[in-house]
Amino acid sequence: MNTERTRPTAPPPLVVTRVADHQWHALENDEVIGRGHASHRPDGRLFISVDAWHDTAFAALAGTLLTDLPGPLHTVVDASDTELTSKWREFGFSVGRGEWEYAVPTDPAVTGLGAARPPADVTVVPYGAADETRLRALDRTVRDEVEATVGWRTMPAEVRPLPPGVTVVDPTKYAAAEAPDGSYLGLLRLATATRRPRIGLLAVRTDARRRGIARALLADVLHTLHRCGVQEASAEVDEANEAAKALFEGIGARRVNRALELVR
């Protein structure tokens, strides 16, 4: 009679490997069971994300990213995902800001923007026709004005690595408001490679505000989308930005999601 007992097999080791400059994989038996990613936003903030099959892989990846990367670090979570938020809190993250996602109607009959016109001395340059040099000049001005007040961290921004100083990546994604001297007073950036076209940025120079320029830009872009058969666009607004919330809610936009930006 063989009384020898089979010893339990030790679980396979979990290994986290850096596979690229800003990418990590969690491996178990040489199989990828999780991924980590880091990316700089145009304003310099470093954002990280983890997509893992189970909690052990999440913890291993998050711990490695925190060790390998300089702080401060940021991540974005859906406000309704309390489980994921709790995981990041265990690693020392806390809520830095909140952001509302809006579904924005395009039909002028719904938005009330059918009669919206820019001031008599301002011309709206249609989406896709803005001049790159003047866009960059306005973008720098707007960024300087925002940094001097609420800080660019409160502005929605696409997560993508960019060369230093480059913020206007594709001028064909913008509409603009032009002054009589040819300079730009306002801009609207629209990304169309998403399920809903996304208004990524709507900004007006400080000395040109309260003249209806933002509404005129919105009216022009939304009307263009409506003519193309698009029923809704999307926009993200910092929940502390009362003026922006009032602008979008005043044209019938509805809140569909809330995101939290966590920071460590």
Per-residue pLDDT at 161? 44
Q: Where are the domains of the chain?
A: 14-99, 100-258
| Most distant CA pair in the chain, distance | 101
For residues 40-52, average pLDDT: 86
**Gap between the Cα atoms of 148 and 119, Å rounded:** 27
Which architecture does CATH list for 14-99?
Answer: 3-Layer(aba) Sandwich (3.40)
CB distance 188 to 217 below 8 Å: yes
The CATH code of domain 100-258 reads: 3.40.630.30
Q: 14-99 and 100-258 share one CATH topology?
A: yes
User: Which pLDDT tens digit goes with each residue over 79-88?
Assistant: 999 999 999 9
User: Which pLDDT tens digit goes with each residue over 16-39?
Assistant: 999 998 999 999 888 999 999 999
Per-residue pLDDT at 8? 57
Q: Report angle CA 256, 262, 264 to the nearest 5 degrees.
A: 175
Per-residue pLDDT at 10? 55
Checking if the pLDDT of 7 tops 70, the result is: no
Q: Shortest CA distance to 76 belongs to which of 251, 189, 246, 238?
A: 238
209 φ, ψ to 5°? -75, 165
User: Which pLDDT tens digit goes with each residue over 231-261?
Assistant: 999 999 999 889 899 999 999 999 999 999 9
**Gap between the Cα atoms of 48 and 233, Å rounded:** 27
What the block records as the tokens of 143 is: 């960024």
Per-residue pLDDT at 160? 45
User: Which pLDDT tens digit goes with each residue over 159-215?
Assistant: 444 455 556 668 889 999 999 999 999 999 998 877 789 998 899 999 999 999 999
Q: Whole-model pTM?
A: 0.77
Checking if the pLDDT of 11 tops 70, the result is: no
For residues 57-62, average pLDDT: 95
More confident position, 51 or 7? 51
Per-residue pLDDT at 171? 83
